[in-house]
Structure formats: C-alpha cells, structure tokens
Structure 1
C-alpha cells in the first residue's frame, strides 16, 4: 500500500496501559466512524505496515484507545509512539453537496461567477491559516481562499468548482 492511496487518520500520542495499549489522536470531525476498525497502516520509517487491531474504543472525544495484535508490553508500545496512522482512500466516507476532500478536487476546473474560467486546481495549500486552492492559469499560479462564502457549487460530474470571489482578487495575479 502506497501513501498516495491512503489518507492520514491520526497519530499515536501515548501509551494507555502497561499491556501495550495506545492512544491515537484522530484527525477527523467524526471519530466514531473509526471506532471499530480491523486494521490500520502505520508509517514505520517511510513504509506503510498493516497492524491488526484486537480492540479499540473512543477515549474522550478525539482519542482512540487501541490494542494491536502482538503489541503486548510497554517496550513494544513505546516503539510506536508518534507513529502516523493511515487508511485506504476507499474507506473515506463519501461527501456530498459542496463538501469535498482536498485530494478529490485536484484537476478540477475553477470558474468564477464574475471572472469566468480561472484555471485548473493543481494543489491545495493548507499550511496557511486558511486553506487555498492553487490554480494554474496558463502557467500563472492563482491562489483562491477555500472560504465557504466563496464556494458556490461543487460539480463532481463535470469536475468543476464554482466560486464567487471578491472583485479584483483574480486580476491581482494577472497584472504585470
């Protein structure tokens, strides 16, 4: 399994017991969707390795208490702290309407209600306070905030996202 075929679920943050149980902080708005997993992939030195789950249960809102098969003591558990958890992309819940996962809109066209067709989404920059669409318009990069107020329609069938950006935002990138 390759990382690009998976999504980041969370990270193991601490031991829970001396019997090898661990606590993982989940990166999700709906942690209860991941309460009864059979297995997850752990990123061990850049390789995704499957780990089978004996038991798991939610522990405080966004923490998952996990007992892996063959992790039976503190030393085994210590070795897994700070390890990232991944699941295959097909396990992501389907989103509908104007909600979307970042990876699924790469390659979509962006159309602005005032400007017209802007370009193709080449990536998402989520390292800033507000995530940004990275849009390629004939070799010029245009950054559009992923603001719910700007996104008017997500058309999955036609691979298009319609936005209504403030007047002049797109033109800023096109002026010499």
Structure 2
C-alpha cells in the first residue's frame, strides 16, 4: 500500500488535545474534515496509529486538529514530529489537467522532437504556477514552469512529459 503525506504535527496547541500541523496537502478541507481518518506515523514505526478527526480550524499558518479519544495535552504530546498520511485509496480524482505531485515526480521530460531533457526531481510551488526541477543525466538542473505554453503532454502511465522548449528555458 502506498502512503501520501498530508501534514506534520509540529506541536500541541492549548490543553484540550489539539495539535498544530504544518500541512502539505492541497486539500486541507477534505483531508481534515470531521470524521476523516488520518494515519499517524511516529519515528521509524511501520504501523500507523489511525486517528479520526473531530475538529479542524486554521490558526496563523497552521492547521489545528483534534482527534477522537484524545482529549488532553498529555494524550497528544507524543504525536510531536509525527507525519500524517493517507492511503492511495483516500486520494480524490482530480480534474483533467491536474496531477498529484507523486504522479509527476520521476517522469521523464522530452522536447517536441523526442530528445530527452531529464527527469522531474522536485516540484516548487511559486503561487502563480508550479515549477518542476528537471535534472538531466549530466549538467545542471532546468526549471520548467507548469504552464500551458510550455507543457504540451503528460502521460502518467508512461511517466512521460513533452514540453515545448521556449527561448532561454534550458540555459
């Protein structure tokens, strides 16, 4: 089974069992919905603790969560530095031109004539659009904006992306 990170518990908040989460999901309203189940991985443990969300609110740059059965600060102090994850079965279907990061990572990028440029090794979120770090077998990484003018084709099953190389894009 594949697991996908949705957040990291960085601290407790208050005395009533609330935890402070740095979210890594684009869908906090869905992931942290009341009744949703999240799996907490602590340290090097292979078996997660399954938690049910009982409340969610935002505070500053954090998502604050409470879980069923965990009512005091003492009960959640051990959750600090734990990673909240969901299974592949909990992922939602996305719109036609939207992809999960794990689907784009490790895809091979080609230009319009079929010449290999490199492999997607990182995704940077800039606010306006994502930027993919494409690392060739030799040389320095390239930064490819995920915009319609550049990205022409994505085939997730074949792990293949075709882009139009605009002037200055690969320099």
TM-score when normalising by structure 1: 0.70
Runs of 4+ that moved beyond 6 A? none
- Residue 148 to residue 105, structure 1, CA distance change in 2 (3 Å): closer
TM-score by length of 2: 0.71
Q: How has the CA–CA distance of structure 1 residues 87 and 54 changed in structure 2, closer, same or farther, with 3 Å as cutoff?
A: closer
**Distance change in 2, residues 1:89/1:135 (3 Å):** farther
Distance of 1:58 and 1:153 partners within structure 2: 38
Per-residue displacement from partner, 1:43-78 (whole Å, max 9, x unpaired)?
212224433335433302761422243x34322322
Q: Do the aligned partners of residues 152 and 64 (structure 1) sit closer, same or farther apart at CA in structure 2, a change above 3 Å counting?
A: farther
1:152 to 2:152 alignment: yes
Gaps of 5+ in 2: none
Aligned to 2:135: 134
Where does residue 111 of structure 1 map in the other structure? 110
Distance 1:60 1:128 in 2: 20
Indicate if the aligned counterparts of 2:5 and 2:25 stay in contact, CA closer than 8 A: no
Shift of 1:164: 1.4
Give the Å deviation of 1:132: 0.4
Change (3 A) 1:15 1:8: same
Residue of structure 2 in register with 1:29 after alignment? 26
Provide the aligned length of Structure 1 versus Structure 2.
162
Is the 8 Å Cα contact of residues 20 and 64 (structure 2) preserved in structure 1?
A: yes
Consecutive unaligned residues of structure 1, counting only runs of 5 or more, are none
Which residue in 1 is equivalent to 2:56?
58
SS across alignment from 1:90: helix
Using a 3 Å threshold, how does the CA distance of structure 1 residues 105 and 155 change in structure 2: closer, same or farther?
Answer: same
Q: Label 1:93 to 1:143 Cα distance change in 2 as closer, same or farther (>3 A).
A: farther
- Post-superposition CA distance 1:62-109 (Å, at most 9, x none): 61422243x343223222123221111332223343332232234544
8 Å CA contact 1:8–1:27 kept in 2: the answer is: yes
What CA RMSD, in Å, does the superposition of the two structures yield over aligned residues?
3.2
Are the structure 2 counterparts of residues 165 and 40 from structure 1 closer, same or farther at C-alpha, using a change threshold of 3 Å?
Answer: same
Q: 2:107, 2:160 within 8 Å by CA — same for their partners in 1?
A: yes
Q: Aligned equivalents of 2:153 and 2:44: distance in 1?
A: 37
